[in-house]
Amino acid sequence: MRDSQTNSSAVAEKPEGWNRPALIKPSGDGELLEVAMGPHHPSTHGVFRMDLALDGERVIRLRPVFGYLHRNHEKIAEGVSYLASMPYTDRLDYICPITNNWAYALAVEKLTGQEVPERAEYLRVILGELTRFQNHASSIGFLIQEMGASGTPLMYAFREREKILDLFEKLTGARMMVNYMRFGGCRVDASPAWLDATRKVVAGLPEFVNEFDRLLGSNEILMARTQGVGVLKADLAVNAGVTGPMLRGSGVNYDIRKVDGYGIYNRFNFRVPLGDHGDVYDRFIVRMLEMRESITILEQALKDIPRGPVMDPKAKLRGFRPKPGEAYGRIEGPKGELGFYLISDGGPNPYRYRIRPPSLINLTVLEDMCLGHDVADVVLIFGSVDIVLGEVDR
């Protein structure tokens, strides 16, 4: 068993099973070209490598290689107090730091049974949905950029993202590394001026989505490049633990905001968009529609937000020692199910601190989706998974 650590090449045989990709027989004389795509390939959004075996242009085998950004965040978190890991969670998926904060705070609150005040719940929803909006916008922008539309669609998305990051900066003091949530609430309250500014930004978002949709949704090149590419069947998606827009793009109705109703999501009226074919185009459309649903939630939350404290007054920040036990808390992050599993032995540090990274687990089916496609499509399929390497490698 230990000998299997050797760095086998992409051409090495992999056993087949019902839930494993069917191997493709090479044509002609069977001579394959091995290509190491990455770790510095511009489409990999960071440092990530795919070892491809190509038969002409066709992908015969694909092996993802991880670990270039491995910091062992889980080990670091075992050595510090519960609160000290909060700023570090910003650095996991650095596109959506708020939802990382939220998932961690939720897991600790499950462990200790702390209550979150009403206003803090609303602020969490507002910031979480803004995060989801800017994540989906920029992930679509990156997808189109990788298709060859150099710059323009991405800059459209980044223009909106910048407005949202300005709001984050006004509220938390940082554009990305927000360190905003606490166990039992949020760090600072939002001023009425901030809420008004947010209402103004949210009022402008539908126009952006309409424009984005008009420009991209029926674009001939986009349809030709993405429809029928990277198909993921629903049963494999569930079995492989794929979550988020990728799972819903395959037509599986599973949104943790609806299933668990964590926080106060039960109070909001929103729909779960589903794809049909599970290809790159469906994932793109699902993200587009989720942006519209986020706007619906934001409008409701900004209308209903009550007055009150944003921190549980009994919440303890220093000398925080949860009773022995364990808890798994999960949220519907923009990229999929983001979970934290914590084990407490009664001490000030977690005994075990585990992150369930949606980016890593969604990549399980990367090979299945890419086999048989051209090497140029690998870039698109990979882009449609929507990963951030800070979360994949932790």
Partner 1 sequence: MKKVEEIKAAIEAAVPGAAVEIVSNPSVSGQHSLRLAPESAVAVASFLRDDPELALDFLSNVTGIDWPDKVTAERVKVKRQVVKTVDGVEQTVEETVEETRQRLDPGCLEAVYHLYSVAKKHGPVILRMRTQDRADHVDLPSLTPVWRSAEFQEREIFDLYGIAFTGHPDLRRLLMWPEFKDHPMRKDYREPDDFEYEPTAHDEVLKRAEEHRAGTAVHADAECGQ
Which residues contact partner 1 (rule: CB under 8 A)? Answer: 1-2, 4-8, 14-15, 17, 19-20, 66-67, 70, 72, 74-75, 110-113, 236, 238-242, 252, 254, 259, 322-328, 330, 337, 339, 341, 343-344, 352, 354, 356, 360-361, 363-365, 393
The smaller minimum CB distance to partner 1, of residues 74 and 299, is found at: 74
Contact 208, 360 (CB under 8 A): no
The smaller minimum CB distance to partner 1, of residues 93 and 146, is found at: 93
The CA–CA distances, whole Å, from 19 to 15, 93, 231, 237, 337 equal: 11, 29, 15, 10, 21
Other CB atoms within 10 Å distance of the CB of residue 314:
8
| C-alpha closest to that of 214 among 134, 153, 164, 146 | 153
CB 185, min distance to partner 1, A? 18
> Which tokens in the block code for residue 262?
């964590």
CB 107, min distance to partner 1, A? 9
CB 174, min distance to partner 1, A? 28
The smaller minimum CB distance to partner 1, of residues 111 and 130, is found at: 111
Contact 359, 388 (CB under 8 A): yes
Q: How far is 104 from 112, CA to CA, in rounded Å?
A: 12
CB 311, min distance to partner 1, A? 19
Q: State the DSSP H helix or E strand holding residue 356, giving kind and residue range, or none if neither.
A: strand 352-356
| C-alpha closest to that of 133 among 103, 104, 106, 168 | 168
CB 258, min distance to partner 1, A? 8
The smaller minimum CB distance to partner 1, of residues 158 and 328, is found at: 328
CB 112, min distance to partner 1, A? 7
CB 10, min distance to partner 1, A? 12
The smaller minimum CB distance to partner 1, of residues 32 and 360, is found at: 360
Other CB atoms within 10 Å distance of the CB of residue 83:
16
The helix/strand count (H/E) of the chain reads as 15, 8
The smaller minimum CB distance to partner 1, of residues 198 and 362, is found at: 362
The smaller minimum CB distance to partner 1, of residues 153 and 334, is found at: 334
Q: How far is 353 from 85, CA to CA, in rounded Å?
A: 10
3-state secondary structure of 186: strand
